[in-house]
Amino acid sequence: YVIHRLCFHLYPFPEKNERKIYTPEHVMHILGQYDIKYKDFGEKNQNEFIISLLGKLHDELNKKKNFKNDDFKTEIIKKDKDMTINASLKHFVNNNDSIISNYFIWFKIKQTKCIKCSNEFYTFQYFPSFDLNILDCAKFYKNKIQEIKIENCLEFYSMYKYNTKTFCSFCKAYGECASETLIYSSPIVFIFLLDFKGNQNINFVIEQRINIDKFVENKNAPSSYDLNGIVYYDLNKKKYNAFCVSPVDKMWYLYDDENVNLIEFEIFINMYKTSKIFIPFILLYNSEANNRNKIK
C-alpha cells in the first residue's frame, strides 16, 4: 500500500497539475518493523536497501501463499546439469509468482568438481540483483583495457574459477572442490549492484545500452537492455542521489531530495566522466523495449 501511495505521488498523472514533495517515511517505517536498521531516517546502504525492499514486496505480492523460499536463494543440487535446471525451475514456478519474481529474478548455475573423486555436480540459484565486483575485474584486466564496462565484469564473472571446500555427495564428505558459475537466464529488469571496494580511481563506463547475449545460456531470455536509472554517491554533497528515466515522458531527471531537474543523459554522463565526484552504486537496465518477442 505505501509503495502504491509513493508511486501515486511521484508519477505525474494527467489529472494532477502539480506534484508535491513526498517523504517516504512510511516506507522506512514498514521496513523498520522487519529490520531494525531502517527505523531511523539516516543514510542507508543503498544495495542492502533495494534487496530488502524487493524481498518485502515479493513476500506481500506472492500469489503462491504457501511458498518455501529463502530470499530467492534456494539451492537445488543435482548430479546432472539439465536435471538441476529442470528441477530448480519447477521449484521456482511452484513457489514464486509476483511482479518482483517475474521481472527482477535472474538465474545462475554453478558447476563444481570434486578434486578427490573428479565427479561433477551442479547448484542452481536465483537472485533479484547482480553484484558486480568492479575492483577485482579491473585488477584482472589491468594493462589490457583502459575502461571497465558491464560486459567486462560479466566476462570476468563467467570465466572466474575458484577452489572452495564443500560437501561432495559422491565422497560423502567435505573436501576441496573447483567451481565456476554461469548465468543461466536473465531478467526483464536487471539491477546491477556495483562494488568498487573503496577504490575511486577505476575508470568505469556507464553505457546507455548493453547486450549480454553471449553471457547467458538460455537464448530465449532477454539480452538487450536500455539504462533506466542510476543511484550514485555525490562526493561533494556526501549523499546518495538518483538519475532516472521518467516512466511517463521517458525523459531523464536528476533526483536530489526535493530538487528534481530535467537533464539530458549526455550532459550527466559528461559530468560523471570529467568531475570524478559521482560514484555509481546501482544501475537499472530494462529489456522490455528491445526483447518483446523473447519475453513473450
Instruction: Return the C-alpha cell found at 174.
Output: 567435505
23-28 contact pairs (CB < 8 A, 24+): 26/2, 27/2, 27/3, 27/53
Average pLDDT, the chain: 85
Each residue's pLDDT tens digit, 199-211: 878 999 999 999 9
Q: Does residue 34 contact residue 21 with C-beta atoms inside 8 Å? A: no
In 3D space, the residue among 178, 193, 186 whose CA is nearest the CA of residue 281 turns out to be 193
Each residue's pLDDT tens digit, 55-80: 888 988 999 876 555 545 555 666 78
Instruction: Return the C-alpha cell found at 261.
Output: 531537474
pLDDT score for 191: 97
Q: Does residue 164 contact residue 102 with C-beta atoms inside 8 Å? A: no
Each residue's pLDDT tens digit, 125-177: 899 999 999 999 999 998 888 899 999 999 999 888 888 888 887 888 888 99
Residue 114 neighbours by CB under 8 Å, 6+ apart: 120, 121, 168, 170, 171, 175, 176, 177
DSSP, residue by residue, 52-115:
HHHHHHHHHH-S-TT---STT---EEESSHHHHHHHHHHHHHHH--SHHHHHH-EEEEEEEEET
Q: b/e per residue, 249-272, with b = 16+ CB within 10 A? A: eeebbbbeeeeeeeeeeeebbeeb
What separation in angstroms does the CA of 16 have from each of 3, 8, 10, 12, 272? 18, 10, 11, 6, 33
Q: What does the alpha-carbon distance between residue 129 and residue 220 come to, in Å, rounded to a whole number?
A: 20
Paired strand residues for 193: 131, 282
The answer to whether residue 296 scores a pLDDT higher than 50 is: no
